[in-house]
Amino acid sequence: DYYSSGEYYIVKSNVISIQGRYLPTKFTNGLAVTKMVAIGGSLLKGNKLIIGPLSATWNGAPILTGFPSHFDQPDIVHADYDNVGNLVDTALDASKKKIVHVKINDGSPEGLLVQVNRWTASVGNEYVNFKITMHSRPDQDGHCGNFNGNAADDDRMAVRQRVGTQGVPAGPELLFATKTPVTTAGRPDINNCPTATLEAAKTDCKAAFGGMSPK
């Protein structure tokens, strides 16, 4: 439930940085969806892996260009692109699965896992959703929370208070080549709406309009 355009920390820690680029589509009434996921940090030994709905790159070079396909950097990361696995969002069409499975070597047998589901059926409205499976790290935070065992402080409002509202700063921490300006609309910001109020509004909109928000 994060709706502003920009690049934000999904996971920020001392050894791994996972960032999301959020942008709107014409179907989301100006609210942002996840368009790309970028992974970097010392676990990747200074390399950058970026996955979007239509392409993926390793240090800017295209990878996973076929379907299915594989990519491997020994002792660092392995990625598979196929239609195998469960959906992150079970409400979507399972017959159209396009999934990138990433396993990063973090010293554990299971590794740090990132699953990225690509949705490409509507031209111009492509997006991704994702699931991260990892061990907690010291000083971890980001839009996925701080992994301290207390779900209450992973509420959107609490996370925004801790990590800020302007996203990843321009400079060496930013894994993307450019930073999207974070703008403030001339109206109340849905990101500042308390969770309980927002969920009640979603329910009302669904009942009134047959969807999550008016069209």
pLDDT one-digit tens code per residue, 82-133: 999 988 888 788 888 999 999 999 999 999 999 999 999 889 899 999 999 9
For the chain, give the mean pLDDT: 88
Strands (E) in 120-178, as ranges, are 127-133
The pTM assigned to this predicted structure is: 0.83
- What is the pLDDT, as a whole number, of residue 183? 67
pLDDT of residue 109: 95
Around Cβ 49, how many Cβ atoms within 10 Å? 25
User: At a CB cut-off of 8 Å and minimum separation 6, what does 91 contact?
Assistant: none
Can you give the pLDDT at residue 92? 81
Residues shown for the chain: 215
Residue 215's pLDDT is what?
34
How many Å apart are CA 74 and CA 36, to the nearest integer?
24
For residues 105 and 93, is the Cβ–Cβ distance under 8 A?
A: no
Mean pLDDT computed over 57-85: 97
Q: Residue 102, Cβ neighbours under 10 Å: how many? A: 24
DSSP 26: T
Q: What percent of the chain lies above the pLDDT cut of 70?
A: 93
